[in-house]
């Protein structure tokens, strides 16, 4: 596959992933708005913070290192797919081990919620862990699909699984509200089971078909999806296994950074379950853009960078034509996420109160919710830049550099936990966001230094993508001031007509900013038009 084809597939994958994340977030957004009317904020806090943390910890620590290792360095070319599949099946026993350990911690070491307001805590813990282990059954299939750019498979399977989860949740909230946490645990198990079923069904149909033969797919039948030894070669590729171990040590630290505030809330009890529920709802609203746009871009273009660059080699040792393309793509991606992040930060301050009031009523808008969301709108800008810079850095690092970066991650993890604990006692939930901002800034600084050094001996300077045009910055500043005045004049206690006027002012300012982007950032506009808009007319997997 040529470099241009890899870029085209990665761009299409990013576009479909954005569509997938939009679907997920819209469904979750509507689901949370619905359940807020039927269940307590304490129940929401336990589900969205403690039980979700159990699930994300289990699956992240079980599979993240395997995904990064098996999708990097052209694993489909330089490694035997037979050995790759064997390695990926290790995620299942690893997940079972993590499941047992985490269930013990969640049941016996953490504070148990009041069974009256939060019933069926213990069964829910077991079911959430079980759902995570079940999801790992599809891990070899997921990696195969990602490596061979089966774009629609991920979109369709995860969309159907989410629809099934939402349907079960709504039905049980309406008709079996007394089941408490078991409602959400059962819906979670439906989601993971449906996801595994979709992947298995697809590969059962695909393997051995004429389509698989035409695409020279490395596996011929369903039996080859199971672990087994091939005569004349080791069971595992030990160089790939060592790389996986390096990423595993890093993934543990990255998980602490990613979910640090939930760990602090869960293990240190700095917020009540009700306050945790409010914080998590605000966090989900604030991170919608990150999940809609930035995460899909990061996941998809990590595959692109990993395929076009040889891990551990400096820029002069790479194929220069491919490096030119990689540098150009990196610069455009940095400019794209920076512009989106700046727009969110500029408009987030003036529309946070209105968004929370429309979403959850006085439950969210009367307390610290608006302050949390305003701070989060600034944090989104750092999230945007960090996702792309680390996407490139992790694809370019050698194994030794990955190991050394683990020490950096350890320092960041410790500092984040200490900052979170201290700032939360000082500023409540806002302290979590401030600690995240400080740590995200340090991660960006490390990545920027790496990228600058990496390209120092080349004619390419992709970090120029972090420099927006002065006219765009001026347009953003004017829009932020105008919308702030509009909020003061019209929002949010003077009726729906004044709220609509505030929204209208925001729409006009947004159009003004987008027009400025179109005029001043012509290279970025061309990149979006040619690479990130999905080509629906062309048949893809």
Percent of the chain with pLDDT over 70: 89
Residue 74: pLDDT over 60 = no
Confidence band for 322, pLDDT divided at 50, 70 and 90: confident
Range ranked top by mean pLDDT from 39-48, 95-104, 305-314, 443-452: 95-104
What pLDDT shows up at residue 196? 94
pTM confidence score: 0.69
What pLDDT shows up at residue 537? 35
What pLDDT shows up at residue 15? 62
Q: What is the pLDDT of residues 131-190, one digit of tens each?
A: 999 999 999 999 888 888 776 788 788 888 888 888 898 889 888 888 889 999 999 999
Average pLDDT value for residue range 517-534: 81
Inter-CA distances, 363 with 52, 143, 356, Å:
22, 42, 9
531 vs 16, higher pLDDT: 531
What pLDDT shows up at residue 278? 78
Average pLDDT value for residue range 38-55: 87
Residue 539: pLDDT over 70 = no
Question: What backbone phi and psi angles, to 5 degrees, belong to 406?
Answer: -60, -35
Q: Distance of alpha carbon 402 from its chain centroid, rounded?
A: 21
Residue 541: pLDDT over 50 = no
**222 secondary structure, DSSP code:** G
What pLDDT shows up at residue 536? 32
Buried residues in 496-515 as b, exposed as e (16+ CB within 10 A): eeebeebbebbeebeeebee
Which of 129-133, 134-138, 367-371, 455-459 is predicted least confidently? 367-371
Residue 198: pLDDT over 80 = yes
Alpha helix segments (H runs only) across 117-237: 121-135, 139-147, 151-175, 181-206, 210-214
The closest alpha carbon to 79, from 403, 311, 377, 269, belongs to 311
Which residues make Cβ contacts (< 8 Å) with residue 115, sequence separation at least 6?
Answer: 121
Average pLDDT value for residue range 196-203: 92
Residue 363: pLDDT over 60 = yes
Q: How many CB atoms lie within 10 A of CB 317?
A: 9
Inter-CA distances, 118 with 60, 153, 168, 184, 436, Å:
27, 37, 19, 12, 29
What pLDDT shows up at residue 174? 86
What pLDDT shows up at residue 1? 53
Q: What is the pLDDT of residues 220-244, one digit of tens each?
A: 888 888 888 777 777 788 888 888 8
SS3 91: helix
Q: Scan for tokens 């004429």, then name that residue.
A: 210
Percent of the chain with pLDDT over 90: 25
Which of 30-34, 40-44, 235-239, 315-319 is predicted least confidently? 30-34
The closest alpha carbon to 498, from 507, 510, 489, 508, belongs to 489
What pLDDT shows up at residue 317? 78
Which residues make Cβ contacts (< 8 Å) with residue 405, sequence separation at least 6?
Answer: 250, 397, 446
| Whole-angstrom distance, CA of residue 92 vs CA of residue 62 | 8
Confidence band for 476, pLDDT divided at 50, 70 and 90: very high
| Whole-angstrom distance, CA of residue 86 vs CA of residue 93 | 12
Query: 434: part of which helix (H) or strand (E)?
Result: helix 429-454
18 vs 508, higher pLDDT: 508
Rg of the Cα atoms in the chain: 23
| Whole-angstrom distance, CA of residue 447 vs CA of residue 454 | 10
| Whole-angstrom distance, CA of residue 266 vs CA of residue 273 | 9
Which residues make Cβ contacts (< 8 Å) with residue 125, sequence separation at least 6?
Answer: 51, 54, 103, 106, 107
Residues 162, 191 contacting (CB under 8 angstroms): yes
Mean pLDDT of the chain, nearest integer: 83
SS3 74: coil
Confidence band for 75, pLDDT divided at 50, 70 and 90: very low
């Amino acid at each position: 596959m040529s470099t241009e084809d890899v870029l085209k597939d990665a761009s299409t994958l990013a576009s479909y992933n954005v569509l997938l994340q939009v679907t997920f977030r819209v469904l979750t957004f509507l689901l949370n708005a619905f359940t807020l009317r039927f269940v307590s904020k304490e129940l929401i806090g336990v589900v969205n913070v403690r039980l979700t943390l159990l699930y994300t910890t289990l699956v992240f620590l079980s599979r993240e290192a395997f995904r990064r290792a098996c999708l990097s360095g052209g694993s489909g070319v330089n490694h035997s797919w037979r050995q790759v599949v064997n390695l990926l099946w290790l995620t299942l026993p690893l997940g079972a081990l993590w499941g047992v350990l985490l269930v013990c911690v969640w049941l016996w070491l953490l504070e148990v919620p009041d069974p009256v307001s939060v019933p069926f805590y213990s069964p829910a813990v077991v079911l959430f862990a079980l759902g995570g282990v079940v999801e790992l059954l599809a891990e070899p299939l997921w990696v195969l699909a990602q490596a061979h750019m089966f774009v629609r498979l991920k979109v369709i399977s995860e969309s159907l699984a989410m629809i099934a989860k939402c349907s079960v949740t709504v039905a049980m909230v309406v008709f079996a509200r007394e089941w408490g946490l078991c409602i959400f645990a059962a819906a979670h198990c439906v989601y993971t089971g449906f996801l595994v079923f979709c992947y298995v069904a697809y590969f059962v149909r695909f393997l051995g078909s004429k389509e698989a033969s035409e695409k020279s797919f490395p596996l011929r039948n369903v039996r080859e999806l199971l672990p087994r030894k091939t005569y004349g070669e080791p069971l595992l590729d030990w160089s790939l296994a060592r790389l996986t171990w390096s990423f595993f040590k890093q993934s543990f630290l990255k998980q602490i950074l990613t979910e640090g505030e939930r760990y602090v809330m869960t293990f240190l009890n700095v917020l009540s379950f009700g306050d945790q529920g409010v914080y998590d709802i605000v966090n989900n609203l604030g991170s919608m853009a990150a999940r809609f746009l930035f995460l899909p871009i990061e996941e998809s273009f990590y595959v692109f960078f990993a395929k076009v660059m040889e891990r551990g080699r400096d820029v002069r040792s790479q194929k220069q034509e491919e490096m030119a393309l990689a540098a150009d793509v990196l610069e455009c991606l940095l400019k794209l996420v920076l512009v989106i992040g700046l727009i969110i930060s500029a408009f987030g301050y003036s529309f946070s109160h209105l968004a929370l009031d429309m979403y959850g009523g006085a439950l969210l808008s009367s307390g610290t919710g608006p302050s949390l969301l305003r701070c989060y709108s600034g944090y989104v800008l750092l999230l945007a830049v960090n996702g792309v810079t680390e996407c490139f850095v992790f694809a370019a690092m050698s194994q030794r550099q990955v190991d050394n970066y683990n020490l950096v991650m350890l320092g960041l993890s410790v500092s984040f936990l200490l900052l979170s604990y201290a700032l939360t006692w000082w500023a409540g939930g806002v302290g979590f966001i401030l600690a995240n901002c400080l740590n995200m800034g340090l991660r960006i600084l490390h990545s920027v230094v790496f990228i600058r050094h990496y390209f120092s001996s080349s004619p390419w300077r992709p970090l120029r993508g972090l420099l927006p045009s002065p006219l765009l910055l001026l347009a953003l500043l004017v829009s932020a001031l105008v919308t702030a005045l509009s909020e003061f004049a019209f929002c949010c206690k003077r009726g729906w007509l004044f709220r609509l006027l505030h929204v209208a002012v925001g729409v006009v300012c947004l159009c003004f900013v987008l027009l400025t982007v179109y005029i001043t950032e012509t290279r970025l506009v061309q990149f979006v038009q040619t690479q990130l808009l999905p080509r629906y007319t062309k048949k893809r997997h």
